[in-house]
Amino acid sequence: MSTFSNPANSLILALSKGRIFDDTMPLLAAAGITVTENPETSRKLILATNDPHVRVIIVRASDVPTYVQYGAADFGVAGKDVLLEHGGEGLYQPIDLNIAKCRMSVAVNAGFDYDKAVRQGARLRVATKFVQTAREHFAAKGVHVDLIKLYGSMELAPLVGLSDAIVDVVSTGSTLRANNLVEVEEIMDISSRLVVNQAALKLKRERLQPILEAFERASRLNN
Ligand code: PRT
Ligand code: MG
């Protein structure tokens, strides 16, 4: 099936545009690989590199694990937030790249007394893209929640009364502040991981291994 587009002697790396692409470039450079096209200006979804055996595909951040799981890409870079929702099936996760760092948090309207609502055992409406992570977090706390699945702009939900709280990733916190929301609980630290297709790891070891080693060395500098 995918043997034509992804032959045994070549490698395909799945990345999303933006911060993951940008932060992965120095790691690729450490492996001697340069992407020769710019995803921000090109409409191409398959990008060439200086190495004829290595290509980069551009996919949505949350689709990276799926492409790698099915072997359409041999390896990829995805946030821990995305990997927890995907479940990690079929993926080997050898390296924390320490890039695209942020945290997963609970946030509410500035006027909402979250601690009191939790103490009183209120049932909370929580809007999020990260339903698995949110479900586990509130279950562990013993808080009853109705989860509302969204695909983006979670910050809007409490403002218009869709939910009492959101679970979202936060980096600077300026989006929360701009919308009069406050972070009331930090669930976990997030960074992006290298994910490798389990079959590719065995069948393409010779080509993959030097790249994985270069990523490992270079990512230590991000600590
Ligand atoms: O954008 P798209 O819907 O395609 O998908 P995505 O948002 O999942 O992708 P992308 O490329 O934005 O993020 C890729 C990965 O980067 C995520 O999976 C996270 O692991 C990581 N990351 C790091 C972040 C942020 N920092 C971050 N700040 N992902 C999203 N954000 C959002 C945040 O939720 C807020 O809405 O960026 C906005 C600005 O954040 P503040 O706190 O700096 O204001
Ligand atoms: Mg985004």
Cα(169) to ligand 1 centroid in Å equals 6
Q: Are residues 154 and 212 in the same domain?
A: no
If one counts the domains in the chain, the total is: 2
Please indicate, yes or no, if residue 20 is contained in any of the structural domains. yes
Q: Are residues 205 and 185 in the same domain?
A: no
Which of 102, 149, 172, 194 for mutating ligand 1's site (highest number of atoms within 8 Å of CB)? 102
Q: Are residues 148 and 165 in the same domain?
A: yes
Structure confidence at residue 6 as a pLDDT band (50, 70, 90): confident
Please indicate, yes or no, if residue 144 is contained in any of the structural domains. yes
pLDDT > 70? residue 179? yes
Residue 97 token pair:
């790249």
Structural domain containing residue 173: 102-189
Q: Mean pLDDT throughout 107-119? A: 97
Distances (CA, A) of 149 to 110, 128, 134, 157, 173: 22, 5, 10, 11, 22
CATH number for the domain that contains residue 61: 3.40.190.10
Average pLDDT of the residues of the chain: 96
Dump strand ranges (E) for the chain.
11-15, 46-48, 54-58, 75-79, 91-109, 124-128, 145-149, 165-170, 181-197
Q: Are residues 170 and 199 in the same domain?
A: no
Q: Are residues 109 and 34 in the same domain?
A: no
Please indicate, yes or no, if residue 156 is contained in any of the structural domains. yes
Q: Are residues 90 and 195 in the same domain?
A: yes
pLDDT digits 0-9 by tens, 21-57:
999 999 999 999 999 999 999 999 999 999 999 999 9
Q: Are residues 157 and 203 in the same domain?
A: no
pLDDT for the residue 131: 98
Q: Are residues 89 and 167 in the same domain?
A: no
Whose Cα sits closest to atom 30 in ligand 1? Answer: 169
Q: Are residues 16 and 86 in the same domain?
A: yes
pTM recorded for the entire structure: 0.95
pLDDT digits 0-9 by tens, 134-152:
999 999 999 999 999 999 9
Please indicate, yes or no, if residue 6 is contained in any of the structural domains. no
Please indicate, yes or no, if residue 109 is contained in any of the structural domains. yes
Whose Cα sits closest to atom 20 in ligand 1? Answer: 79
Cα(63) to ligand 1 centroid in Å equals 14
| Atom of ligand 1 minimally distant from the CA of 178 | 44
Please indicate, yes or no, if residue 2 is contained in any of the structural domains. no
pLDDT above 90 covers a percentage of the chain that reads 94
Q: Are residues 197 and 97 in the same domain?
A: yes
The dihedrals phi and psi of 212, each to the nearest 5 degrees, come to -60, -40
Ligand 1 and 168: CB distance under 6 A: yes
Please indicate, yes or no, if residue 5 is contained in any of the structural domains. no
pLDDT > 80? residue 5? no
Q: Are residues 26 and 37 in the same domain?
A: yes
Residue 95 token pair:
């390296």
Q: Are residues 196 and 177 in the same domain?
A: no
List Cβ neighbours of 6 (8 Å cut-off, separation of 6 or more): 12, 71, 72, 73, 74
Ligand 1 and 15: CB distance under 6 A: no
Please indicate, yes or no, if residue 51 is contained in any of the structural domains. yes
- Contact in structure between 55 and 172 (CB atoms under 8 Å): no
pLDDT for the residue 2: 47
Amino acid at position 145, single letter: V
ipTM: 0.96
| Atom of ligand 1 minimally distant from the CA of 192 | 20
pLDDT above 70 covers a percentage of the chain that reads 98
pLDDT for the residue 222: 87
